[in-house]
Amino acid sequence: MEQTITEQNIQIDEALENIQKLVENIETVIRGKRMQIQFILTALLAKGHILMEDNPGTGKTVMAKTLAQSISGRSNEGGVIFKRIQFTPDLLPMDLIGSHIFDDVKKEFIFKKGPLFCNVLLADEINRASPKVQSALLECMAEQQITMGESTYPLEKMFFTIATQNPVEMEGTYPLPAAQLDRFFIKIIFGYVDEETELDIYNNYLGIADNLAHIHQVLSMEEILFLQDETEKVHIHQEIVKAVRNIIWDTRRHQDIVLGASTRSGITFLKCLKAFALVNGRTFVTEDDLQKLTPAVLDHRLVYRNKDAKAKLLTSILNKEMDRLSKLKLN
């Protein structure tokens, strides 16, 4: 028994180290975005999906590509299949899922798998596709399987979607409904890098592609699956669980929030907290995790009465709990 525990510990330590390596690895390409990288990995470890929102050209796609490459290696040699779909208004669900094609030789319909059958999917500009396509993708994300006619095709065991979207206000977009946004564990706003990093990027813009080419696999799929299992074992203090509960409740009670967070969001929140702890190399959740993660997990699930007050509202709700936690003396 003792033996296994130590063995496992070593494995965890190794895996945690590898995650740090992964973060650093990605950082060589995407600079000054450590937090965003951590969020993406959090979503990955929590067996969820991530939505990235920002203006075009902020490095969303490169980010997704780098991540896929760091897991799979350059030409999918690690067995991790990376697919990318550019969403356009004329995209059809079939283009995602695949379709039945009549095989002339076998004289039967065979299922031609679409790009969804992969490990890491980059759904670029998801809000440019029609709602029909969107809902098809999101259903797959939730169910982890595709049903075509009478037969059901399971997706890969590790299926991770990185969706990007342009800000809703931009032309030619179909905003995602709240219920579908709920499927994404985390929504991050990519944002611009700071001035210095930007200058750095300009000076080395040739190097970006180069760096991307040199990205090699640092984390195997097995390790990721292992870490996904480990996520469940991360210690979370009862007070933090309470804090999550309070935050969720406060969003429902707040008069300037039309739609508060659901119970499912709460569970997602807890999963993300645990995963985020792992990403940060810890096996326990801290108030720090709560503070950093709350906007990323909850913001896109809430419907505000007044859009201007958005950021302030959640912060004030969060601050109340953070105050409570920082005053607590536990143990």
Partner 1 sequence: MRWRGTEGEVKMQIGRFHSWKKVTAQILLLALPTIALAFYLLYNVNHYYALLQNKWFEQGMYFATGIVTAIIFYSYRFRFVTTALLLFGIYFIVYKLLGSISVGEFDAFFVSVKFLIFTLLFSAGWLAGYGFSRSKYFTIIWSVFLLAMQIIVVSKTPEISANALIAAFAPVLVYSFYIIYTAELIRNMNEDEMGFGWFITKRLAGFLGLALVVLFSLLLIFQKDFKTIEHDWGGTSGGKDKGGRESMTKQNRDGSLSNKDQMKLTSSLSKDKRLVFVAKLDNFFPDGKTPNPLYFTSTYYTKFDTTTQTFEEDKSVPYNDLFSPDPSRIPLYFVKTDSNAIRNTMATLNRKIVSADVYKVVLSPNEFIAPSTAFFCQPIPVEGEYKNQFKSAYRAKMWVSDLNSAYFIYNPAGNKSLESFQQQRFEQLRNSNSYQRMDKKFMDYYTFMPRNEEYNRIKELAQNLARSARTPVDKMIAIRDFFTSKDEFGQPLFRYSDNPGIPGLPSASKLNYFLFENRKGYCAYYAGATLFMLRALGIPSRIAAGFLTVDRSSKNPGWYWFYADQAHAWVQLYFPGYGWIDFDTTVPDVNTQQSPQPDGTPPMNTQQALLVANGEAVSVDTTTKRATMKVTKLLYHDEEIPTALPKDLFMDVSIAAITKDTGAGKLSDVKPGTSIVAVSYAEVLKNIEANEMDSVGSVINKIPRPTPIDEIKIMETEEQKKDREKLQAKTAQPFDWVKALWITLSVILGFILLVFASPWLIWQYLNAKAKSNKNPGANAYNIYNASMYYLNQLSFIRDNQSPQQFAEGVDKHFGSNFNKFTNVYQKVKYSTTPLSANEQTLVHEFYEPFKHQVKDKVPFKTRFSKFLNIYNTLHYFTKLKLN
Token pair 């790009």: residue? 115
Q: How far apart are CA 296 and CA 37, in angstroms?
A: 12
Judged by CB under 8 A, which of 27, 156, 200, 288 binds partner 1?
288
**What contacts 230, CB < 8 A, 6 or more positions away?**
12, 15, 278
Minimum distance, C-beta of residue 4 to partner 1, in the bound complex (Å): 17
**Nearest residue to 33 (alpha-carbon basis) of 218, 163, 188:** 188
Asked whether position 23 contacts partner 1 by CB under 8 A, the answer is no
Asked whether position 240 contacts partner 1 by CB under 8 A, the answer is yes
Number of chain positions touching partner 1 (CB under 8 A): 34
Q: Which of residues 29-48 bind partner 1 (CB under 8 A)?
A: none
Judged by CB under 8 A, which of 55, 145, 197, 316 binds partner 1?
316
Asked whether position 273 contacts partner 1 by CB under 8 A, the answer is no
Judged by CB under 8 A, which of 235, 260, 276, 303 binds partner 1?
235
Judged by CB under 8 A, which of 204, 252, 284, 303 binds partner 1?
284
For partner 1, give the closer residue by CB, 18 or 286: 286
Asked whether position 19 contacts partner 1 by CB under 8 A, the answer is no
Asked whether position 323 contacts partner 1 by CB under 8 A, the answer is yes
Judged by CB under 8 A, which of 113, 237, 245, 310 binds partner 1?
237
Asked whether position 11 contacts partner 1 by CB under 8 A, the answer is no
Asked whether position 27 contacts partner 1 by CB under 8 A, the answer is no
Question: Which listed range, 19-27, 122-130, 158-166, 319-327, lies at the site for partner 1 (CB under 8 A)?
Answer: 319-327
For partner 1, give the closer residue by CB, 112 or 253: 253
Token pair, residue 142, equals 């939730």
Minimum distance, C-beta of residue 235 to partner 1, in the bound complex (Å): 6
Question: Which listed range, 67-75, 107-115, 173-181, 289-297, lies at the site for partner 1 (CB under 8 A)?
Answer: 289-297
Minimum distance, C-beta of residue 319 to partner 1, in the bound complex (Å): 6
For partner 1, give the closer residue by CB, 139 or 239: 239
Write the interaction track for partner 1 spanning residues 296-315; mark x where CB under 8 A is met and - where it is not. Answer: -------------x--xx-x
Cβ distance 59 to 170 under 8 Å? no
For partner 1, give the closer residue by CB, 245 or 282: 282
Cβ distance 188 to 52 under 8 Å? yes
Residues that bind partner 1 (CB under 8 A): 235-237, 239-240, 250, 253-254, 256, 282-288, 290-292, 309, 312-313, 315-317, 319-320, 322-323, 326, 328-331
